[in-house]
Amino acid sequence: MQRTDRWVGIALALLGLAVLWSARAFPDVPGQKLGAAFLPMLVGAGLLLCAFSLIVRSQRGRAYAEDSARAAGSEHIGSSLVIIGSVLAYVFLSERIGFLIIAPLCLMAGFLAFRIGWRRALLWAVVGTVVVHFSFYKLLRVPLPWGLITPFY
Amino acid sequence: MDAVATAFGLVFQPYVLLVIALSAIYGLFVGAIPGLTATMATALLVPVTFFMAPVPAVAAIVTATAMAIFSGDIPSALLRMPGTPASAAYTDEAFLLTKKGQAETALGAGLVFSVLGGIFGVLVLIVAAPALAEVALKFSSFEYFWLVMLGFTCAIFIAGNDPLKGLVSLLLGLLFAVVGLENPAGAPRYTFGNADLTGGIPMIPLMIGLFAMSEILRYAVVVVKPEMATDRPFGNVFAGMWTLLKKYPLQLFRGSALGTLVGALPGAGADIAAWMSYGMSKRFSKEPEKFGTGHVEGIVESGAANNSALGGAWIPALVFGIPGDSITAIAIGVLYLKDMNPGPTLFIHNPQNIYAVFIVFILAQLLMLPFGWGAIKVAKRILRIPAALLMPLILLFCVVGSFAINNSLFGVVVMLVAGVLGFFMERWGFPVAPTILGVVLGTMLEEHFFSSLIKADGNFLVFFERPIAGTLGVLCLLIWLWPVLRMLRRRSG
């Protein structure tokens, strides 16, 4: 925790500086001494101060209570990357290829990353897509994109 | 009285009752699955409530959260895994009771005292909210400014064990709130020329990311294989509850009262209420040595506390628009979307809606008895559903839900970024609740600060001139200076 605190502190300090630097350009409220820059300035200064305290504290080696609720177990970075990747894929591809194609692919990727068997994954990918499409497109009238299959719609 | 009659009419409609029943089942399910929290249940509900009238929309949230906080107790007793963080305080106690062959007592006490604590919280809400609204009608920007500051202070000092990290979380939240055109000067801030960002960071996708997406990532990274503590069918979970009630009336009252109070404090919700109540129960118990060995007393007190916190959290949310916990932070967003802007005027212009919310609250608590009993009956089957199957489905729901708010992929991007942020914040020990408070209250803070400033005309003492504003202000300053004062006293002593 101390080492991450130090790195997080450095990152926060940079963020604080960036906020302070960018806030200079914000205009004042006409007739007032303060304006749009006030809150960002305050946030930037606060971040800088907190960052400084975090770094100092981590240097002194004071161990602060860590959330002990985190369960023990082996870590899988890969499956979380698959999850993030599938959302990115949805963002970039859904308009082009359509919900009914991208959604089952995303679901499949997630199931397989979590070690669900092929056949079960395929079944639930289809069922999940149909249920979500029905409830959001039909019932709630959310315009989910048709993409490639627009001509068949 | 007319308003009350209208309120009953608003609630007792087939459609609203159906919504309540469905959200009850949904809440019980989400609460019972470890890794899915009550806040996540709320965040995922919002895209659906988006398309409902105000009363059913709020009814869905109120019912689902009440049920979820109770059903979080179920996997605590059976798997030694809290279904929601609110059950974590007494998870070991409940599990050890089950191991001793008293699963019925653990689950029954969880259910019955959740209901009683919940009703206590609702009654306080019903009495306190309109009374506070009367007072709040006289509030000016000075009082609101200090209330927001007091809210931030509570969130930092109560919501986590590390105020410094709490402050960082709050500042990040304020930074999010700053984005967009909505500020006193009407100038674009941190929009980077992006049209989507001029409207600010959309609140609901942000919440879905922080509370749902982050949980999915957490699940993906850490794999835990729990084991069921008992395989025999359950007997009557209500057996012996009357005896418990007669044995621990003080514990029930203390837990409910503390829970309601902690719930009403901004930034602290059911989970913190449960931890504090459990600690209090042990401290004042006649048999503290039994705590941690499968003793029901702590479950009675903190089980009541976490459900009463839900009602308590709605008090500042409805009266001042200041959320009492993360759930009401999301609910406030829904209220704004439904033209039910929280504030004292809500009690004057739309009293029927407020009364309808109260009725729904009571109804939800009463429904918890039969529905909760049913949930315990099918608990083992629910807990056998592999989370690996649920998580990708929830992810799709997050994606489509974030899209549905503005029919824009920008919402999905915000959700993803917030999810990754929420994941790392939890991992590095930064509490998420202050961030939410910063996002929700940032605009309000700036608005009230500037109108106060214009009225004050450069004289900062005006911030303390009105009696209530002055009291709130001094209270804030005292809490901020407390660590310094304590340090000074220690040095001189």
Residues A148 and A106 in one domain: yes
Domains in chain B, number? 1
Residues A30 and A97 in one domain: no
Measure in Å the smallest separation between the Cα of A47 and chain B Cα atoms.
Answer: 6
Interchain proximity A26–B185, CB inside 8 Å: yes
Domains in chain A, number? 2
CB pairs under 8 A between A and B: 174
Interchain proximity A76–B221, CB inside 8 Å: yes
Residues A28 and A83 in one domain: no
Interchain proximity A116–B388, CB inside 8 Å: yes
Write the residue in A53, A66, A79 that is nearest to B220 by C-beta.
A79
3-state secondary structure of B310: helix
Residues A81 and A24 in one domain: no
Domain span at residue A105 reads 77-152
Q: Does B193 touch chain A (CB under 8 A)?
A: no
Asked, for residue A66, whether it belongs to a domain, the answer is: no
Asked, for residue A72, whether it belongs to a domain, the answer is: no
Domain span at residue B60 reads 2-492
Interchain proximity B392–A53, CB inside 8 Å: no
> Hey, which residues 68-97 in chain B have their CB within 8 Å of chain A?
81, 85, 88
CB-CB neighbours of B263 under 10 Å: 31
- Distance between CA B134 and CA B137 in Å, rounded? 5
Q: Does B445 touch chain A (CB under 8 A)?
A: yes
Measure in Å the smallest separation between the Cα of B222 and chain A Cα atoms.
Answer: 5
Residues A81 and A56 in one domain: no
ipTM of the complex: 0.90
Measure in Å the smallest separation between the Cα of B329 and chain A Cα atoms.
Answer: 21
> Which residues in chain B have Cβ-Cβ distances shorter than 8 Å to A42?
174
> Which residues in chain A have Cβ-Cβ distances shorter than 8 Å to B406?
none
> Which residues in chain A have Cβ-Cβ distances shorter than 8 Å to B449?
38
Contact by Cβ (8 Å): B405, B202: yes
Contact by Cβ (8 Å): B68, B38: yes
Nearest alpha carbon to residue B296 among B334, B340, B244: B244
> Which residues in chain A have Cβ-Cβ distances shorter than 8 Å to B161?
64-65
Q: Does B47 touch chain A (CB under 8 A)?
A: yes
Q: What are phi and psi of B236, to 5 degrees?
A: -75, 115
Contact by Cβ (8 Å): B369, B111: yes
Per-residue pLDDT, A69: 39
**Joined tokens for residue B408:** 């824009």
Query: Which residue of A lies nearest to B48 if distances are taken between CA atoms?
Result: A140
The identity of residue A87, as a single letter, is V
Q: Which of A26-30, A142-146, B75-79, B371-375 has the lowest mean pLDDT?
A: A26-30
- Distance between CA B122 and CA B362 in Å, rounded? 7
Interchain proximity B400–A144, CB inside 8 Å: yes
Per-residue pLDDT, A86: 95
Per-residue pLDDT, A30: 74
Interchain proximity B395–A110, CB inside 8 Å: yes
Interchain proximity A142–B407, CB inside 8 Å: yes
Interchain proximity B171–A43, CB inside 8 Å: yes
Asked, for residue A65, whether it belongs to a domain, the answer is: no
Per-residue pLDDT, A1: 62
What is the rounded average pLDDT for all residues in chain A? 84
Q: Which of A80, A96, A111 to mutate to test the interface with B (most CBs of B within 10 A)?
A: A80
Contact by Cβ (8 Å): B388, A130: no
The angle that helices B296-320 and B326-337 make with each other, rounded to 10 degrees, is 30
Nearest alpha carbon to residue B356 among B1, B2, B3: B3
Asked, for residue A68, whether it belongs to a domain, the answer is: no
Write the residue in A22, A69, A124 that is nearest to B389 by C-beta.
A124
Residues A48 and A81 in one domain: no
Per-residue pLDDT, B487: 79
CA dihedral B282, B286, B290, B296 (to 10 degrees): -70
> Which residues in chain A have Cβ-Cβ distances shorter than 8 Å to B404?
136, 140, 142
Single residue among A18, A35, A60 that ends a domain in this structure:
A60
List the pLDDT tens digit at each of the 493 positions of chain B.
Answer: 688 899 999 999 999 999 999 999 999 999 998 878 888 889 889 888 888 999 999 999 999 999 999 999 998 888 888 888 888 888 889 999 998 888 889 999 999 999 999 999 999 999 999 999 988 888 889 999 998 998 888 888 876 678 899 999 999 999 999 998 887 777 888 888 888 888 889 888 998 999 889 989 988 887 666 777 777 778 888 888 888 888 999 999 999 999 999 999 887 888 889 988 998 898 888 888 888 888 999 999 999 999 999 999 999 999 998 998 889 988 888 888 888 889 888 888 888 989 999 999 999 999 999 999 999 988 888 888 888 888 999 999 999 999 988 889 999 999 999 999 999 998 888 988 889 889 988 888 988 888 888 888 778 888 888 888 999 999 888 888 887 888 788 877 6
> Which residues in chain B have Cβ-Cβ distances shorter than 8 Å to A84?
217, 416, 420
Residues A9 and A46 in one domain: yes
3-state secondary structure of A8: helix
Interchain proximity A80–B217, CB inside 8 Å: yes
Residues A121 and A147 in one domain: yes
Per-residue pLDDT, A24: 84
Interchain proximity A91–B174, CB inside 8 Å: no
Single residue among A30, A60, A90 that ends a domain in this structure:
A60
Helix residue ranges, H only, B72-102 = 73-79, 91-99
Interchain proximity B189–A36, CB inside 8 Å: yes
Asked, for residue A110, whether it belongs to a domain, the answer is: yes
Interchain proximity B224–A72, CB inside 8 Å: yes
Give the global pTM.
0.86
Write the residue in B164, B186, B445 that is nearest to A53 by C-beta.
B164
Question: Tokens 């039910």 appear where?
Answer: B340
The identity of residue B357, as a single letter, is V
> Which residues in chain A have Cβ-Cβ distances shorter than 8 Å to B187?
26-27, 35-36
Interchain proximity B395–A106, CB inside 8 Å: yes
Q: What are phi and psi of B189, to 5 degrees?
A: -120, 130
Interchain proximity B217–A46, CB inside 8 Å: no
Interchain proximity A82–B220, CB inside 8 Å: yes
What's the pLDDT tens digit per position in A41-58?
999 999 999 999 999 988
- Distance between CA B473 and CA B218 in Å, rounded? 40
Contact by Cβ (8 Å): B87, B46: no
Residues A85 and A48 in one domain: no
Nearest alpha carbon to residue A129 among B396, B317, B124: B396
- Distance between CA B92 and CA B249 in Å, rounded? 23
Q: Does B385 touch chain A (CB under 8 A)?
A: no
Report the Cα B99 to chain-centroid distance in Å. 31
Residues A93 and A27 in one domain: no
